[in-house]
Structure 1
Amino acid sequence: MFITTKDNIQLHVEECGSGTPILFIHEFGGNHLAWEPQLSYFSRRHRCITYAARGYPPSDVPENLDDYSQVKAVEDAVAVLDGLGIAKAHIVGLSMGGFATVHFGLMAPERALSLTIAGAGYGCEKDLEEYFRGVSRTVADKFESMGSEAFAKIYALGASRVQFQNKDPRGWADFAARLATHSAKGASMTMRGVQARRPSFYDLEDGLKAMQVPSLVMVGDEDDHCLQPGIYLKKTIPACGLVVFPKTGHTLNLEEPAKFNQEVAEFIAQVEAGAWHKRDPRANPDQVMRTD
């Protein structure tokens, strides 16, 4: 089905299952199809929704850069819930989708039952912030000049993607094949409009400290530029847990689908049981051992 955003963009939406809703938001290198292992698993007891972000066919591919931004990414997620008549959902996002999930919690916390923030952090490290913005623009240029089919062969072998290839060559090949079908225009616009312009988590500290939505951060231990931002989110968001996947890169939900599903399922179960709380104030990080 398609839903229409408030700025008249058509978004392709798929859903399955019944129960408490879960909205899955995909990464830059993926699309709505990348959540298949999660839809197959969680639809047994949840209403699962995924969608192709703007710029990702069969959703519309706007040609104006101003039609792409971090704010619009969150507004699109809210539009999907509105279009399906869903008041609140568990929000699960990977990478670019993880950034959208963080901003969803900041912009529309009343619509979120929980936030699962996976593989999010590229561009947040302050010493690499300008480098990231520059390399994002270079990636955009490459998609435009080479086309998706050719550039996918390079992008899919990034430093935090080869772990997936080593563990599961067939799964990685499916990921790379999907990447090769991306709209070159949509990919370049997304890189320039969303990735290269989004704020660092470290610039959002006041909002993150005030965000009360139950949250789970997930990161691979070889996804180097997400590790420290993930720890920062854990320390800053009041009701936040952290899971680190060993010997794992960026594409968490596909590289380690069973572990990903298990961790998210346990998190959602605790949230729905009212058992996922803010950190106990007695767990003072300044204390090493209690002496009195």
Structure 2
Amino acid sequence: MPYTTTDDGVRLYFEETGSGHPLILVHEFAGDLRSFEPQMRHFGKRYRAIAFNARGFPPSDAPEHVSAYSQARAADDILAVLDHIGEPRAHIVGLSMGGFATLHFGLRHPQRALSLCIGGCGYGAEPDKRETFRAEADVIADVIRTGGMAAFAERYAYGPTRVQYQNKDPRGHADFKAMLAEHSAVGSANTQQGVQKERPSLYTLVEEMKRLLVPTLIITGDEDWPCLLPGILMKQNIPSAALAVIPNSGHAINLEEPEEYNRIVGDFLCQVESGRWPHRDPRAVSASITGMKN
């Protein structure tokens, strides 16, 4: 089984397929590398596609202590995979927890990114939602530790941004829930308290975003309510960013609408590789609504 080892000694399991420019897929909290199977099959036809399990998600190691988990480590774990495969740069594509890791990878290691695709990124980011999100992370960790993953999956899989997937694709949603139930209770609880709860609000990263010049796509579902305003925030402040919204969709957009997701991301990658991805024209940023202000 292919593994890489991080600088703090954690083994990360990964899989790869295809050849070409490397593309690293970074999964969400409720998923693992299997969540990106539609993308591995699609993009593996054109790219060297790599998906890995985050720390805490077996067969990657699941450290016993919360201190081994953080937003910075999540970003640097992407770098460990990139170094291991021997590539200087890669397209980084993440969803939710993986979307946050993708953004932070771009902020921490911009010279190693060909592009960034930040999906479903924003939970708990708004200042008035932050303490509620932090409290819910502790509740989730406690539910997992006391009740186990199967009982947790029965609740979490039917959240307000997950029911869209169930309504569209009951069989796919059932697979998603079963996958979630298989995860490590220790790893999932520690991820909630070390990565999710403690990550900085996007609203504190605005000045860093303004300096981010890596080609960036922000993509979200229009019923992924916690991610809509944070998505606009990133679009407004990352000068190389575009914003794509998939209609009538919740959080798991790559599984809910795989064809549309793959089309949008694929078009983005093609524009980047052809050198046609733009930076925002400064004339598009104005205090005037029409450009006719005195």
Question: Structures share a fold, TM > 0.5?
Answer: yes
Q: Secondary structure at the match of 1:282?
A: helix
Superposed CA offset, 1:115-165 (max 9, x none): 000000001010010000000110011111110011101000000000000
> What corresponds to 1:48 in structure 2?
49
State the one-letter code of the partner of 1:235. Answer: Q
Q: Secondary structure at the match of 2:275?
A: coil
- Provide the C-alpha distance between the structure 1 equivalents of 2:230 and 2:285, rounded to a whole number of angstroms: 20
> What corresponds to 1:194 in structure 2?
195
State the one-letter code of the partner of 1:21. Answer: P
- Provide the C-alpha distance between the structure 1 equivalents of 2:284 and 2:129, rounded to a whole number of angstroms: 32
Are 1:167 and 2:171 matched, yes or no? no
> What corresponds to 1:261 in structure 2?
262
> What corresponds to 2:214 in structure 1?
213
> What corresponds to 2:9 in structure 1?
8
Cα distance, 1:291 vs structure 2: 3.8
- Provide the C-alpha distance between the structure 2 equivalents of 1:96 and 1:75, rounded to a whole number of angstroms: 14
Cα distance, 1:75 vs structure 2: 1.1
1:1-292 equivalent positions in 2, closer than 5 A: 1-291=2-292
TM-score, normalized by length of structure 1? 0.99
C-alpha RMSD of the superposition: 0.9
- Provide the C-alpha distance between the structure 2 equivalents of 1:189 and 1:127, rounded to a whole number of angstroms: 24
State the one-letter code of the partner of 1:84. Answer: I
| Number of aligned residues | 292
- Provide the C-alpha distance between the structure 2 equivalents of 1:242 and 1:45, rounded to a whole number of angstroms: 23
- Provide the C-alpha distance between the structure 2 equivalents of 1:290 and 1:135, rounded to a whole number of angstroms: 44
Cα distance, 1:279 vs structure 2: 0.8
TM-score, normalized by length of structure 2? 0.98
Q: Secondary structure at the match of 1:277?
A: coil
- Provide the C-alpha distance between the structure 2 equivalents of 1:55 and 1:23, rounded to a whole number of angstroms: 18
- Provide the C-alpha distance between the structure 2 equivalents of 1:90 and 1:285, rounded to a whole number of angstroms: 31
State the one-letter code of the partner of 1:15. Answer: E
Superposed CA offset, 1:149-200 (max 9, x none): 1110100000000000000111111111100001011000000000000001
State the one-letter code of the partner of 1:110. Answer: Q
Q: Secondary structure at the match of 2:51?
A: strand
State the one-letter code of the partner of 1:157. Answer: Y
- Provide the C-alpha distance between the structure 1 equivalents of 2:23 and 2:74, rounded to a whole number of angstroms: 17
Cα distance, 1:285 vs structure 2: 4.2
State the one-letter code of the partner of 1:34. Answer: S
- Provide the C-alpha distance between the structure 1 equivalents of 2:288 and 2:241, rounded to a whole number of angstroms: 19
Cα distance, 1:288 vs structure 2: 2.5
Cα distance, 1:261 vs structure 2: 0.2
State the one-letter code of the partner of 2:233. Answer: Y
**Superposition misfits of 4+ residues, deviation over 4 angstroms:** none
State the one-letter code of the partner of 1:140. Answer: A
- Provide the C-alpha distance between the structure 2 equivalents of 1:164 and 1:291, rounded to a whole number of angstroms: 45
Cα distance, 1:215 vs structure 2: 0.3
Cα distance, 1:286 vs structure 2: 2.6
State the one-letter code of the partner of 1:266. Answer: D
State the one-letter code of the partner of 1:91. Answer: I
- Provide the C-alpha distance between the structure 2 equivalents of 1:53 and 1:288, rounded to a whole number of angstroms: 44
- Provide the C-alpha distance between the structure 2 equivalents of 1:288 and 1:81, rounded to a whole number of angstroms: 43
Q: Secondary structure at the match of 2:15?
A: strand
- Provide the C-alpha distance between the structure 1 equivalents of 2:285 and 2:233, rounded to a whole number of angstroms: 16
